[in-house]
Copies of this chain bind each other. A is one copy, B any other.
């Protein structure tokens, strides 16, 4: 479905390879990038294991440099191939890309910057961009709609949970006291949320009979209210998926479902989600270049 186009130059070609997944080269780029990201995460993990780091420090160092250079090249290519580089640089993924590339360079300047591993873990967020492919699985759209629709309700609900945790936490602090591990109110509130969410670490546990009775009330409360967010998402999701298939006529379904999106990404404004076969960007009007 690709048309021949004589404006092709290496920049638009690069843009297509990096930002889109319609062409074989674009797909290959995405797969390689995915592997590089996952390998880099494995490296971060291995480096944190002392026994492994001691034995294979040189290997880990070289591997991290290879990945850092690969990501640097990718970052430069992304900046070059876009018409408005600053728009990319200050976009969400632009910042993530930069932050997840620089830790190794910073470690050259400053020694012992332990905290930089957190920046390296950010690389995982980049997986989401590649998984625009997931859209084709037809899986995430309804799910996202259901979560979005119930967001406000879940927020109100979680707010109520936190208020309950603070009040019960204060009571438990008074009942159990410092000698039984409830050393202060924040710690008591922490214990209360551990209990309400049914996690139950057991690092702190009530010892007095009254404390255990109140804990019982908190647990049954938590048991009862765990039903609420579940019920909300479930109902919203039923509505979201029900309105697609159940209540619309066949014609309407066709109209809604037939818009097939592709992975193209406007070279000018980086807008995504273009219809299959679209010639111009629906946002800025600049032409979308197709592979010949």
Contact = CB atoms under 8 A, between A and B. Distances in A.
B233 A233 contact: no
A230 to B, nearest CB: 4
Contacts of A109: none
A223 B226 contact: yes
A190 B124 CA distance: 17
Interface residues of A, number: 93
Given A193-B220, A230-B234, A167 B202 contact: no
A269 interface: no
Interface stretch (A73-81, A156-164, A284-292): A156-164
B185 A117 contact: yes
A41 interface: yes
A143 interface: yes
A96 B34 CA distance: 35
Interface stretch (A24-32, A56-64, A85-93, A240-248): A240-248
Interface of A: 41, 44-45, 48-50, 114-115, 117-118, 121-122, 124-125, 127-128, 131, 134, 137-140, 142-143, 146-147, 152-159, 161-163, 166-167, 170-171, 173-174, 178, 183-190, 193-203, 205, 209, 212-213, 215-216, 219-220, 222-224, 226-239, 241-242, 245-247
